[in-house]
Structure 1
């Protein structure tokens, strides 16, 4: 399974295009793979024959796992003596347990290594396999810590997790209480009501998992500012027709927002970072992701690469191209890779402001609200006056593990200043 983005850890095989025993040429598409962002095609590295499809269609496969064994024609010898790597057979202990359909796909990742395991809270051991099953069922680390473990030294085994799920997750809403209180956690049974059942599509399920993971991993804090976009709005209205005639590109607010954000990131580079264990990775490139709606209603995040090095013409071309691809379902894997900071324009839907969830593994995400005319008190040299201004709320959700309030507030204020201090005499 190839790596299709720095935040992508697994992919779903949609279907195989080459059957076992069939030959193929270099560049032929072997299979189609879906991630939580886009669908990708896996091309043949060279000519050869499909020996075995190790993974079947609709299986979720971790990056790096073997999905097929090929007999490469350009290599000497038969496929039986080729250099291909055979799939490691699961242990007898793991195969004896028959799992539920909702978690069976996750258990097929047999490459969990004890060295990458970690401890959640005190004395609660969680292996990578148990973690992947928990993520697939939207079980947080705090909830995992409440499940009794039957392994050595109280370690949580996958059989413990399966049993817990089968019992209806009785500790899902449990709250820590003093042992001396004698309080018993009630077994809450919610009435979810009746109505039309709408099954989530594959992308919606992946988005759901990604959002739950982000919300339970990063402590979210949101800061707000209000920006006066009157000069920017007036300049765009006065120049959008000439801009389109000259460059054949529509001038929206998106490239103007990206420009303001990229300049602020240059002033506050720590906002353009990710957390790796106990290390903070400050990104050298400034790649701005744009939350964009698909025809299905799902959201995707195409990326404007090196936004700080592009002029307004290039930003407009790039954003228009990516938005068009998203609406036509033509985005490629590279179009959604490598974002270091994300903007979500909730004003497109008429929202005044929003509190977006961070797009992992980034440190923050900016939401821009609707641009609305309001009466504002303006301080002038000759006295105060009430004027009609174009106002917009900006909200920044940030990961409080690596970004503190001072950095977040300063960065957000700088973005607003860049928008407010727009050069109305600029040429293009």
Structure 2
């Protein structure tokens, strides 16, 4: 029978690998063409992978929780449904380990000096934690990426040749790593009364991402209060008409996205990413919107090129992404490429929040609940007390590259766009 290599497909732009969640078939099982046989995860999106042909699975090369590069052979399928040209490719493409590779894998890894300036991505940190590698040990690994960056393959090669944990590696500046002497707090667990819940895969990824963000960026949070009475009145008066005409719900989210996109155009240096000493200023304005899932986890679908879309287009994008999030139908490319993130904590009744930056971005905006309360306003008759719809905005920003002036000015501009919303906007 001909043998087909079943490879990890490309899941979207800029995605180079995926984690295996589960195999739905085993070795020896017959599969139909286009039948789902594997579930994988990229970032925080789960995807199903179908068989390209009908046949019997003869070999599975990766198991659950393995991280697999795009293009890698996942399994071999014996198939009798194959063209003549395909038959000529078969087993000759299967790689075997050469004598030279075996010799290299048996060579003891040379001890190197630690580089405290080595950049460690969230993936590298996650692998290091799983393999119980110390920070100094990871930083000693030679990187094969751009500018010597440590890649996943570098860590795995190191682990393959690692004979024993390196107890102590001198740093380049001869400083000894500092460790906390504070003991880890003990958890009081009552057997039979309390229960232990294992983190699921997504929660582990969120936890790693949040810890990495706090360790990477010095967070500063600024707050303002905005009067959104006119915006609220306009939305309430037009939401039914909007849905009848465009078959879309008119929530506050697309209005928030529009205001943020306009403010970014005014302050483009808030739309950047940082890599070591370099600042990457993004031309595209892609707004991520933190979305709660029914499971309690969080995901951030992205509204691409938000500054180029009108309110109707933004509403369609927001509604489609929210629906796909709730039904776990997001595509990998729909959570990639955000340059700025918003989090509507008011959805849960929160007055305000101090959000954690979504790396590698440098700022995130939290929008609190809209509440009516008496406020002093200035009219033609002078100061008066009136019932107004008020809301708090809070901006967390990376103080390495965003100072108080830029952060405060940007936040105020977002507030201005919301307070000065054009109530003459026609539906």
Please state which band the TM-score falls in when normalised by the shorter chain. Answer: 0.7 to 0.9
* Structure 1 position 128, deviation (Å): 10
CA change 1:408–1:245 in 2 (3 A) is: same
Give the whole-Å Cα distance in 2 for the aligned partners of 1:394 and 1:377: 20
1:75 match: secondary structure? helix
* Structure 1 position 192, deviation (Å): 0.6
**Counterpart in the other structure of 2:165:** 160
Cα contact 1:118–1:125 (8 A) shared by 2: no
Q: Is 1:414 aligned to 2:421, yes or no? A: no
Give the whole-Å Cα distance in 2 for the aligned partners of 1:281 and 1:251: 34
Cα contact 1:222–1:395 (8 A) shared by 2: yes
**Counterpart in the other structure of 1:167:** none
CA change 1:283–1:21 in 2 (3 A) is: farther
**Counterpart in the other structure of 2:127:** 133
Give the whole-Å Cα distance in 2 for the aligned partners of 1:319 and 1:126: 33
**Counterpart in the other structure of 2:20:** 13
Alignment map for 1:248-259 (pairs within 5 Å): 248-259=247-258
* Structure 1 position 257, deviation (Å): 0.4
Q: Is 1:228 aligned to 2:234, yes or no? A: no
Residue of 175, 181, 186 corresponding to 1:191: 186
Give the whole-Å Cα distance in 2 for the aligned partners of 1:290 and 1:319: 9
CA change 1:16–1:416 in 2 (3 A) is: same
**Counterpart in the other structure of 2:49:** 42
Number of residue pairs the alignment of both structures matches: 383
1:120 match: secondary structure? coil
CA change 1:277–1:126 in 2 (3 A) is: closer
Give the whole-Å Cα distance in 2 for the aligned partners of 1:380 and 1:327: 45
More displaced 10-residue stretch of structure 1: 20-29 or 348-357: 20-29
**Counterpart in the other structure of 2:290:** 291
Unaligned runs of 5+ in 1: 98-111, 164-170, 176-184
**Counterpart in the other structure of 1:325:** 324
Give the whole-Å Cα distance in 1 for the aligned partners of 2:354 and 2:378: 31
Give the whole-Å Cα distance in 1 for the aligned partners of 2:291 and 2:167: 37
CA change 1:309–1:148 in 2 (3 A) is: closer
CA change 1:345–1:138 in 2 (3 A) is: farther
Give the whole-Å Cα distance in 1 for the aligned partners of 2:384 and 2:406: 33
CA RMSD of aligned residues (A): 4.1
**Counterpart in the other structure of 1:77:** 88
Give the whole-Å Cα distance in 1 for the aligned partners of 2:13 and 2:197: 32
Cα contact 2:115–2:140 (8 A) shared by 1: no
Cα contact 1:292–1:299 (8 A) shared by 2: yes
Alignment map for 1:374-413 (pairs within 5 Å): 374-413=373-412
2:86 match: secondary structure? coil
Give the whole-Å Cα distance in 2 for the aligned partners of 1:119 and 1:384: 63
**Counterpart in the other structure of 1:144:** 135
Cα contact 1:118–1:126 (8 A) shared by 2: no
Q: Is 1:120 aligned to 2:116, yes or no? A: yes
Give the whole-Å Cα distance in 2 for the aligned partners of 1:203 and 1:386: 48
* Structure 1 position 17, deviation (Å): 4.5
Q: Is 1:33 aligned to 2:50, yes or no? A: no
Residues 95-141 of structure 1, C-alpha deviation per residue, up to 9 Å, x if partnerless?
999xxxxxxxxxxxxxx9x99x98226xx9989997443354899xx
* Structure 1 position 375, deviation (Å): 2.2
Unaligned runs of 5+ in 2: 1-7, 143-157, 169-175
Give the whole-Å Cα distance in 2 for the aligned partners of 1:378 and 1:244: 33
Give the whole-Å Cα distance in 2 for the aligned partners of 1:149 and 1:288: 33
Q: TM-score, normalised by structure 1?
A: 0.75
CA change 1:388–1:91 in 2 (3 A) is: farther
